[in-house]
Amino acid sequence: MKANSFHPPERTLLGPGPSDVHPRILEAMSRPTIGHLDPAFVGMMDELKGLLQYAFQTRNTLTIPVSGPGSAGMETCFVNLVEPGDKVVVCQNGVFGGRMRENVERCGGTAVMVQDAWGSAVDAGKLRETLKAHPDARIVAFVHAETSTGVQSDAATLAGIARDSDCLTIVDTVTSLGGTPVKVDEWGVDAVYSGTQKCLSCTPGLSPVTFSERAVEAIKARRTKVQSWFMDLNLVMGYWGGSSKRAYHHTAPINALYGLHEALVILQEEGLENAWARHASNHLALRAGLEAMGLELLVEESARLPQLNAVEVPADIDGAGVRVRLLGEYSLEIGAGLGDLAGRIWRIGLMGYSSNPRNILYCIGALEAVLGSAGASFERGAGIAAVEKALKG
Ligand SMILES: Cc1ncc(COP(=O)(O)O)c(C=O)c1O
């Protein structure tokens, strides 16, 4: 078979991730590949660690990008901190809490689940009660921003409860980093992982992680070897560590790291607070448009994740059909519901470079066209007018 070069179609990515990649990042990734132990590359790595500390709002020395997607960052946290026989309290209010449970069990630990409804935030009271009932728990794990439902939980409060019970915390910030406040030091959380393909506007495939001193001490004091050679931080640190002597561990994804570096330079230029404010105000404009069309958001206002909007599919509308038409006719990607919410919601992301007024107007305009011809009843033009008004503030 003779294959030709692959040229992807031009899309507007307003799903749960990946989001549109900033052109500056794509350009940075096309720069010449150099050796992964080249002094120039090592200098870039040091800068990258500093930029990640800024993004995570932390002084943690062990702050690096794991070579692999968000799931690799997730596993890195679990395999390094959980030992066979450990009890881990896992809060689940969507898909990704379920993956945390899988990780605990595959590490030989016991997961004690705190379950909340999909679409609600993690209940702090339930966590407190669970820790009272399980004083031997060593770790609390929770998802800050549940991408499957568009919910944000109160990380500072959950981390405080975990600390009161002398537990370490593992926190998923894949969808929050760069979009809503992630304050690792202020929250006092211990092992935090994220992804590059959401609010950092970068390509998928890297996972920024950060570990507190407490977490590093716990890793050093392990009774057993970390079960994964690739993710064993004791080994990875030989390459990413603070000393000037770097040892080969694996060949770093060099051009992908150029991309992340550029993404973080862009974040620094914008300023974290400004990035958070942009995501918040664009969410309000999108919401105004959706509500003017009679559409409703799944999540109650106080727990809404501005960068990921879970929109209820009206009863008489074929949700999957709408998504297919948006992609086919408008080259616009939005997400479907997962798990318990499959078929019940659309997930509209406004993340990173994708979070801008042009995309909001495009999305609402395309939705008006598709829903209008699908027979939904709403006043045509009302959505666009509401977005315009919200954008003017
Ligand atoms: C909250 C959350 N955690 C973990 C992941 C896994 O990340 P990845 O798909 O990059 O492996 C995702 C991906 O969407 C996510 O949204």
pLDDT in tens, 85-111: 999 999 999 999 999 999 999 999 999
The sign of the dihedral angle between the CA atoms of 228, 233, 238, 239 is positive
Owner of token pair 């404010």: 277
Residues having CB within 6 Å of any atom of ligand 1: 16-17, 69-71, 74, 96, 143, 147, 172, 174-175, 195, 204
Taking the CA of residue 195 as reference, the ligand 1 atom at the shortest distance is: 10
Q: Per-residue pLDDT for 42 more than 90?
A: yes
**SS3 state of residue 342:** coil
Q: What is the pLDDT of residue 339?
A: 86
Instruction: State what percent of residues in the chain have pLDDT above 90.
Output: 95
Nearest of 307, 296, 92 to residue 182 by alpha carbon: 307
Q: What is the pLDDT of residue 233?
A: 95
How far, in Å, from the CA of 15 to the mean position of ligand 1? 13
Question: From start to end of the chain, where are the E strands?
Answer: 12-13, 62-66, 87-92, 110-115, 139-143, 145-146, 151-152, 168-172, 191-193, 207-211, 308-312, 332-333, 335-336, 345-349
Nearest of 207, 192, 181, 107 to residue 141 by alpha carbon: 192
Ligand 1 mutation target, pool 92, 95, 100, 174, most atoms within 8 A of CB: 174
- Range 42-65 average pLDDT: 97
Q: Which helix (H) or strand (E) holds 237?
A: helix 233-240
Q: Is 84 left (phi over 0), alpha (psi -120 to 50) or beta?
A: beta
Q: Per-residue pLDDT for 242 more than 80?
A: no
Q: What is the pLDDT of residue 243?
A: 61
Q: What is the pLDDT of residue 352?
A: 98
Q: Per-residue pLDDT for 49 more than 90?
A: yes
Q: What is the pLDDT of residue 131?
A: 98
Ligand 1 mutation target, pool 78, 96, 180, most atoms within 8 A of CB: 96
**SS3 state of residue 214:** helix
Q: What is the pLDDT of residue 176?
A: 98
Owner of token pair 């045509």: 380
Instruction: Find out whether 282 and 334 touch, Cβ atoms under 8 Å.
Output: no
Query: Quick one: pLDDT band at residue 340, thresholds 50, 70, 90?
Result: confident
How far, in Å, from the CA of 377 to the mean position of ligand 1? 35
Helices 272-292 and 254-270: crossing angle in degrees, nearest 10, is 80
For residue 108, give the amino acid letter: G
- Range 333-352 average pLDDT: 95
For residue 115, give the amino acid letter: Q
Q: What is the pLDDT of residue 160?
A: 98
Q: Per-residue pLDDT for 82 more than 70?
A: yes
C-alpha dihedral, 325 to 328 to 334 to 339, nearest 10°:
70
Q: Per-residue pLDDT for 246 more than 90?
A: no
Taking the CA of residue 204 as reference, the ligand 1 atom at the shortest distance is: 10
How far, in Å, from the CA of 334 to the mean position of ligand 1? 16
